[in-house]
Structures are given as structure tokens and as C-alpha cells.
Amino acid sequence: MNGFSVSDYDLYLFHEGTHYQSYKIFGAHIVEQNGQAGVRFTLWAPNAGSVRVVGDFNNWQGDSHEMVKLDNSGIWSLFVPGLREGDLYKYQIITYQGEVFLKSDAYAFFSERRPGTASRVASLHGYHWQDACWYKHKNSRSIYKCPMNIYEVHLGSWRCGLPETGENVYESDQNDRSLSYRDLAQQLVDYVYEMGYTHIELLPVSEHPYDGSWGYQATGYFSVTSRYGNPHDFMYFVDCCHQKGLGVILDWVPAHFCKDDCGLRRYDGSALYENENSLRGENVQWGTANFDFSKNEVWSFLISNAYFWFDVYHIDGLRVDAVAYILYLDYCKQPGQWLPNKYNGPENLEAIEFMKKLNLVIFENFPEALMIAEEATHWPMVTYPTYLGGLGYNYKWNMGWMNDILDYMKSDPLYRKDKHSLLTFSLMYAFSENYVLPLSHDEVVHGKKSLINKMPGDYWQKFANLRLLYAYMMAHPGKKLLFMGGEFGQFIEWSYKESLDWHLLVYEMHGKLHSYVKDLNHIYLDERCLWEEDGNWNGFSWIDPHDSERSIITFIRRASNEEDFIIVVCNFTPVVRDSYLIGVPQAGVYQEVFNSDNEKYGGSGQKNNRLIFADEFPYHGLPHSMRITIPPLAVVYLKRIKTKQSCTGRGKNAQGMCRDALSGREGQSFGDFN
């Protein structure tokens, strides 16, 4: 790459809001100019009087490194010969009024580790990807017809301590012993694969100054956090996920950004990325600044950032955080704290159009991407295509289901009969959107208690209730998400400062719950009827949603082949129900294929050990019926025995790819800027 390489067409697209790879021109790029190697710096600061590059290479004095303004575009650029990867830098921005701001690079690819706030010159070239097989397979299937069971992770607190090799703790992390990206690429990836998950979702990995924000208040949107390693280390992590057949989803935060002096707020002395009016520009609840979606350049910045993670780091999806804050001008605000739109309404009209364009661009370039909205209101058609008037996401967190089921599960079983509608109401809207069922980090912090501690009853009943919740969730329509620690019954609330309590696995009930979740995950992967028709009524039908007196629900999950179905029976009380009569759709012989009350999982061992023969007696509006034993606080899965069964093991159904094919993968290099 030679010269400044910022064309008039680049400038036009950026200011129009349609430059979706603006990271290729902005930021610090290692280039060669006139035969000299160095770094080209480019930034957007239209209201600056002058801009200088300062860093460890010039003793943080920028007198000899003043940037050049490109015409009247507000774009500044400078080539500095002799700079190398790893050099620290910032922009010294001087306003026409003489104010001086020292800013990190909005487009930096890497950053100094906290508490430092400088940007760091980094090359994103040179990593040789080994995930060609993953891409080939992913592009050959429909995500809607595949299993999706997500393990949500905060990298810094999943597991702490010395790595197995004793070599890969990131050098600046020796005190808190956070594992590096490369250690996580072995330990976390192997763990998630063996546990039977299909995707890893990471709390934001964009650079952020304060650990307690969990990454949701960023300063470096293009900079993977230096807490755990460098950009190539994170590429290695994603690559290892793909080689194991695991997708990678990042939490992404286009709603707001932190107000630290080094960050985006008042970047050139003016409200550049945020709105000048505090009623639009300030997020009072979180003490942050809102992005101003009325500015074309903000569109270019944010859409480019989303594109960047797919293009450069090969991630498979974004979970877009706080969508309600983007959609509504008055969300979580009191009267007098917000300004209505031009029609005197609360909708953020420019932000709505931004999200539609964002999703159009991502799916046009990455057709198999996951774009998941965390949206907690009744906004319609979030996961509908934009040409039908939707926002264009392809999945949405089902916050209604999550709130209802946790409210229900927290209640004493004696009174659950009075809350029975909390179990059944979700099926009134289950197919109105494409849903993910989340039991996320938000539900195990801030005094809400851990999942196991939300459950009522004595020690045994707490575990039984949690097993019941998980098996019910696995059978309910929708993709699945569980936050780390939930799989072994972490008793205390999650803390970003500490490792999960892995020592609990030496205790019998925690160890048995861990085995239970692993087996349940693999049952989900192996049974097509639990995921193939997730998005419509073809995959679900009630047997009996009305037995509120005994707090029992029964339903059927079907695959596209209607002969492939599972009967699901859930008992939300600690009472064993013997000889319980249920209707079934077909004659024949049935068997219990999963029981959350199995002794090996810590249950009481109330099982249907024998084959169950369906009678010709119609019941529940179905042509046949049978009598079963329903264990206490438990879920039972029943299947009809077929004369000829096909293998549906993990190797081809779960991740949808053959292990032999993965082991014979071909190397391929992606994300080349040139």
C-alpha cells in the first residue's frame, strides 16, 4: 500500500453514511510511502483547528507531527516514517478556541492495557486461518433449521489461575491470573465443545477502561481488549472455535459509549459522535453518551464496526445490546428528560433506519450471519425482513419468556397453580418472531441471585427445580442461551472480579447437575424435533396446557418429518403422579428417553422403566392415550419406538459437520485489507 490512499470516493461514501469498510482508511495503518516504511494515521475531526500525532516515538510532543486536513472534509491524515507495530500513540486535538484534547484513536486496532489509555499500532494481517471447512459447512445450511445452544461467557472470570502450560498468562495479567485468548482457545473451547453447546457468546471484547462495565462501555470499538492478548491471539481463539465446530457471537453496543476523556465523547471539542442536545445525547441511567444516528458519519462508523468483526475476526454473529434504548427516545426516561421526534412521538426515527440499513449490509455480505436483538419491548417485526417493514434482525431475545418463567420458578410449588398462565402465555406469541430463550448474565447479578438460589425449597428441591427449568427450556420452541456457571449450579451471584466456583464440582449435587446439563445438551443436539421446526406451529402442539391444579403441562415437539416427535411432560410440583393419563398422536410403543429425576442426576429415581403401550382410547383430542409415571419437580421426554431408526448423532446434526472433514480442513486466509 503506498501513499495516503484516501480517495475522494472514500470521503464521499464516508460522509454519505455508506462507507461500510471505513476501517480500511481510518486509524493507524502500517504502510510504505516513497520507499519508506511507516504508519499512516487518518481520523475524522471536522471541528478541530489542528491535530497532532503524539506517542512514545516523539516523547508525546507533537510539534513535528502535525496532521494535514484533506480539503474541507474534516478528515486529517499524516504519514510518519519509521514507526512500527507496538508503538503507542494518541491524537492531540486543538480546537479553534485553543482547547486541547488528548484522544485515543476511534479506529484503533489495538490499545494499551488498562489503566493506560493510549492506542497501539497493530497489524491485522498475517494470520493464517484454518477454518475453511467451517465456512464451507456453515454456508451450506440454514441456521433456522439447525440447533443453537449458546454458552454465554465473560472471558475474564470464566476461569482464573495459572494456565496448564504455565506460559500463556498474558504478561500484564500476572496479578489477577486471567487466562489469555490462547489459553481460552484450548480450555474454554474444549470445555464448551464437550458440554454439547453449539455457540460461544462473549460479553463485549471491544476495549473498555473499566472492568466493572463488563465491556458494555467501550472506548475502542475496533480494538479487541488487550486484557487477554493481542489481535492475532483473538483470531486464534475464534479459529479454534471454528475448528471445533463452534460459532462465535459477540455482544455489540451501538446504543451508547463511555464518557471517559480519552474516548469518543466530544472527540474534537464538539459533540461529534453524540448529539449536542443533552436530552438526546446523554444516557442518564448509565452515565454514558448516546450515539447520534442523525449523522451519516456515525452510520459509517458503526456499520463499518459491525462489518469489521465479521470480516477481520471471522465472528459468526452479533448480539446487539440495548436495542430498546436505540428504538425509543423516552426509554427509561422521565418526563422532561427526552425530546420527541418530528411527529411528536417517542420513536427514534433515524435510529430505526440505521438498524434496517445495518442488517441489510451485514446480510448482503455475510448471508449466514446471526444478528440477534436484545429487545425487551413490544416493538413489532424485529426479526422480519426490512422489505416487509421489519427491523431486519434474524433473532431476538425472548425477554417475556425469561421474565415469566423465572417469576414462576421462584414461586413456592404450592402456589404455582395460581400462576399457571406464566407457563402457557409464551405460546401465544412464540412464533411471532425468531426467538432465543435467554438465561443470561443479567439474571444473576445486582441482587437477583444465582439461578440455583432463585429456586424455592430445600437443598434437594433447589436442584430438582433447576433441572426442571433447564429441561423445560430445552423443549420449549426457540434457540437456547445459558450464562456460564449455570451449568453446575453456581450458588453466589456472578462477579466479574472472580473466577467461577469450579471447586463446587467436587460436591455431589453440583457434579451431578453438571453431568445432567451435558447430557441434556447432547439430547438436544441429537433430537431434530427439538430444533428443526423452532419457528412455526409445525414443530409444536399442545397435548394439555390446562392442568393448572396439578401444575402439569404436556406438549409435542416435531421435526419436519412428522413421524419424528417427542412428547414432553413437565411436573412443577414435588408430588409424584402415578398412572397419569395423556393423549398421544399415534398408536404403538413408547419409551422414556430422558428423565430429569434420574438418580444419576441427583433425582429421586421415579422413572418409566418399561415400554409404554398406547391404547385406542382417545384423550386430549388425540386418537390414542397412555398412562405414565410423572416424577416430582421433573421433566420426562417420551418417544415412539420405530421399526427402523436412523442415526442422528452429534457429528452431523449438532454442529452439522463431520469431524473427519474438520480434521482434513484446508488453510485459508481471510480479512486481507489489500
Domain boundary among the residues 452, 485, 520 is at: 520
pLDDT of amino acid 391? 98
Same domain for 80 and 213: no
- Residues whose CB falls within 8 Å of the CB of residue 574, separated by 6 or more in sequence, listed in order: 413, 457, 461, 464, 632, 633
pLDDT digits (tens, 9 = 90+) for 189-216: 999 999 999 999 999 999 999 999 999 9
Same domain for 559 and 506: no
Report the alpha-carbon distance of residue 194 to residue 272 in Å, rounded: 47
Same domain for 626 and 542: yes
Three-state SS for 614-643 is CECCCECCECEEEEEEECCCEEEEEEECCC
Give mean pLDDT, residues 240-266.
Answer: 97
Q: Let me know: does 348 contact 341? Beta carbons within 8 Å.
A: yes
Percent of the chain with pLDDT over 70: 92
pLDDT of amino acid 523? 98
Pairing of strands 206-207, 149-153: unpaired
Q: Let me know: does 477 contact 540? Beta carbons within 8 Å.
A: yes
State the alpha helices, DSSP H only, in 221-376.
Answer: 231-243, 278-281, 296-313, 323-327, 349-365
Q: Let me know: does 624 contact 587? Beta carbons within 8 Å.
A: yes
Longest CA pairwise span in the chain (Å): 91
Total number of domains in the chain: 3
Q: What is the CATH number of the domain that holds 239?
A: 3.20.20.80
Same domain for 483 and 557: no
Same domain for 614 and 572: yes
pLDDT of amino acid 649? 39
Position 665 in a domain = no
Percent of the chain with pLDDT over 90: 87
Give mean pLDDT, residues 405-416.
Answer: 97
Same domain for 212 and 112: no
Same domain for 207 and 154: yes
pLDDT of amino acid 140? 86
Give me the catalytic one of 233, 268, 282, 321: 321
Is residue 368 annotated as a catalytic residue, yes or no? Answer: no
Domain boundary among the residues 60, 85, 120 is at: 120
Give me the catalytic one of 152, 316, 374, 375: 374
Among 40-54, 293-307, 329-343, 531-545, whose mean pLDDT is lowest?
A: 329-343
Same domain for 227 and 355: yes
Position 271 in a domain = no
Q: What is the CATH number of the domain that holds 649?
A: 2.60.40.1180
Position 268 in a domain = no
Is residue 443 annotated as a catalytic residue, yes or no? Answer: no
Q: Which pairs count as long-range contacts for 142-147, CB under 8 Å and 24+ apart, including other chains?
A: 143/368, 143/370, 143/394, 144/394, 144/434, 144/534, 144/535, 145/531, 145/532, 145/560, 146/198, 146/531, 146/656, 147/198, 147/479, 147/524, 147/525, 147/530, 147/531, 147/653, 147/654
Q: Cell for 381? A: 417485526
Position 282 in a domain = no
Report the alpha-carbon distance of residue 655 to residue 522 in Å, rounded: 11
Q: Cell for 472? A: 423445560
Q: Is the pLDDT of residue 658 over 90?
A: no
Report the alpha-carbon distance of residue 623 to residue 475 in Å, rounded: 23
Residue 236, domain extent: 146-259+293-416+436-520
Report the alpha-carbon distance of residue 383 to residue 389 in Å, rounded: 10
The answer, as to whether pTM is greater than 0.95, is no
pLDDT digits (tens, 9 = 90+) for 372-385: 999 999 999 999 99
Give mean pLDDT, residues 488-497.
Answer: 96
Q: Is the pLDDT of residue 396 over 90?
A: yes
pLDDT digits (tens, 9 = 90+) for 596-608: 999 999 999 999 9
pLDDT of amino acid 174? 39
pLDDT digits (tens, 9 = 90+) for 439-478: 999 999 999 999 999 999 999 999 999 999 999 999 999 9
pLDDT digits (tens, 9 = 90+) for 630-640: 999 999 999 99
pLDDT of amino acid 5? 65
pLDDT of amino acid 146? 96
pLDDT digits (tens, 9 = 90+) for 212-226: 999 999 999 999 999
Q: Is the pLDDT of residue 175 over 70?
A: no
Same domain for 506 and 474: yes
Position 662 in a domain = no
Give mean pLDDT, residues 288-303.
Answer: 97
Same domain for 456 and 381: yes
Q: Is the pLDDT of residue 6 over 90?
A: no
pLDDT of amino acid 4? 54
pLDDT of amino acid 381? 97
Domain boundary among the residues 520, 551, 573 is at: 520
Give mean pLDDT, residues 577-598.
Answer: 97
Position 573 in a domain = yes
Average pLDDT over all residues of the chain? 92
- Residues whose CB falls within 8 Å of the CB of residue 143, separated by 6 or more in sequence, listed in order: 368, 370, 394
Q: Cell for 503? A: 471447586
Same domain for 510 and 398: yes
Q: Let me know: does 632 contact 571? Beta carbons within 8 Å.
A: yes
Position 429 in a domain = no
Residue 438, φ and ψ in degrees, nearest 5: -105, 130
Q: Cell for 586? A: 399415534
pLDDT of amino acid 643? 55
Give mean pLDDT, residues 3-18.
Answer: 86
Q: Is the pLDDT of residue 291 over 60?
A: yes
Q: What is the CATH number of the domain that holds 112?
A: 2.60.40.10
pLDDT digits (tens, 9 = 90+) for 139-149: 888 999 999 99
DSSP-based three-state secondary structure for 279 = helix
Q: Let me know: does 475 contact 635? Beta carbons within 8 Å.
A: yes
pLDDT of amino acid 73? 84
pLDDT of amino acid 178? 85
What is 365-419 written as a DSSP string? H-TT-EEEE---S--S-TTS-GGGTS---SEEE-HHHHHHHHHHHHS-GGGGGGG
Same domain for 385 and 485: yes
Position 134 in a domain = no
